[in-house]
Amino acid sequence: MSGISYDIISYDPEKLGLIEITRKVLSEFLDLVGVDASIQDIECREYDELVSEWARLGTYHDGAFSARLGCLYSKARSRLQPSNRHRGLLVTSTNIGQIVGVSNTIGIISYSEIAEYGLETFATAVFHELGHMHGAPSRKRHQVDRQVNCDSQIVGLEKEYGGTNAIYECLGKHCLNVGCSMRQRLDFAHWKLHLTQERLKIGRPYCDRCLADLKDFCQQEGLLGADSER
């Protein structure tokens, strides 16, 4: 291993099935992109308490929250064998209504709603969040300047721009290529109906362009193993 650690952070013994899914998806992601890293589990109740407070206040882009989250992360990691670099994926029951990337090193997945749509839909959410944490879709891609407020408008954009590698803004940058897990849906039912069913049918989580974005980002961050350097 290259001294890189990916930590799965949780505190809910009743949701071990979701933790197992998270670990499986993370392992598949690391193999797909070519990152040589270890995976460790962190149990930390304080995270759920902090995210609950964050959700109640609605401070989704509060720098103070990110700082406190990072402080808790360092505290939790001090109980483990230290690694040179680490990234964390927080799996929480707190209802935040969305999947959130706090930074490139910490991501949050709330299973309070999306898990109701099945384990494979939850797996799609994990692939999606890992993509955001690792630079996909790239901001260097052509961005469609169009306001979207519902899933029907998003589907319309995908029909118009699918296959062009274009991206658009809707709660973050998202891909428009058909079959890619880096697309966006505002209704979790459509995460199952659209994103998850297409991912399973195609047999891969990312389009070619998003996969290239992921590898470029990981190469720039020095995360790729020697065999994956291009």
Query: For the segment 61-115, what is each residue's pLDDT rounded down to a tens digit?
Result: 556 666 666 666 666 666 555 455 778 888 877 665 445 555 567 777 777 778 7
pLDDT at 153: 94
Per DSSP, the three-state class of 110 is strand
H runs (alpha helix) in the chain? 16-33, 45-57, 63-77, 119-133, 151-161, 188-190, 197-202, 208-220
How many angstroms separate the CA atoms of 20 and 93, rounded?
A: 15
Residue 55's domain is classified under what CATH number? 3.40.390.10
Mean local confidence (pLDDT), 45-74: 63
pLDDT at 59: 52
pLDDT at 58: 55
Instruction: Specify the range with the lowest mean pLDDT, choosing from 88-102, 124-138, 189-203.
Output: 88-102
Total domains in the chain come to 1
For residue 33, pLDDT over 50 is answered with yes
How many angstroms separate the CA atoms of 180 and 211, rounded?
A: 10
For residue 1, pLDDT over 50 is answered with no
Between 50 and 205, residue with greater pLDDT: 205
* pTM assigned to the model: 0.85
Handedness of CA 47, 101, 183, 145 (dihedral sign): positive
Q: Which domain holds residue 83?
A: 4-228
Mean local confidence (pLDDT), 197-215: 96
229 vs 92, 200, 223, CA distance in Å? 34, 28, 10
For residue 143, pLDDT over 90 is answered with yes
